[in-house]
Chain A
């Protein structure tokens, strides 16, 4: 039973354009959502997070939007840069555990 789903295994975006990565969840008890970025041969690194009491959080080029009624969150990257090419994981906090999505591979084209 996948409580956190990232339905797009990969996404290709032109450099300079907006990248939108999506994540759906099923458990309304999740209280915190996080996005991590992962390069090959490295562990995931924290990118941005959002509390369930908010609907938006912004950090530089990265913005996360939370739609609780739809149980959906999205990560917007504007403008997309070559260094953004990586796998992006969405994770949801359930007490002492993080529940992870399967990841979306973002490819930024020149």
Chain B
């Protein structure tokens, strides 16, 4: 158990809908990262928050948005869903800001299926 929790575990929805994925980081971790893993592919970095502020954006679509709240939990909002958005969405947390030397701890992921 990494200490990072993600809800829900599974989500099935229809095209055009909007969903919210939730992540609670490990106690004391200030950084939260969101990743998308499509079938048989590597993890694609979406966005990074540190202590409530957005620090870096990766290949995140404009239909997607995220935020980190004062209690440090984070939500990833996906709207106008398309079939291609079906994927595993991982959240990770780390203590500090830098990715180079700071281990990221991953949650179990949310499997999103868009029908």
Contact = CB atoms under 8 A, between A and B. Distances in A.
A96 B104 contact: no
B43 A44 contact: yes
A91 B106 CA distance: 14
A42 interface: yes
A78 interface: no
Contacts of B84: none
B109 interface: yes
Interface in B9-26: none
Contact of A102 (B41, B98, B99, B107): B41
Q: How large is the interface on B (under 10, 10 to 19, 20 to 34, 35 or more residues)?
A: 20 to 34
Contacts of A103: 42
A46 B105 CA distance: 7
Contact of A44 (B58, B90, B100): B90
B71 interface: no
B83 to A, nearest CB: 21
Nearest to A2: B42
Interface of A: 4, 6, 9, 31-32, 36, 41-46, 49, 89, 91, 93, 95-103
11 contacts: A4-B42, A9-B40, A32-B99, A42-B108, A43-B106, A43-B108, A95-B99, A96-B48, A96-B56, A97-B48, A98-B99
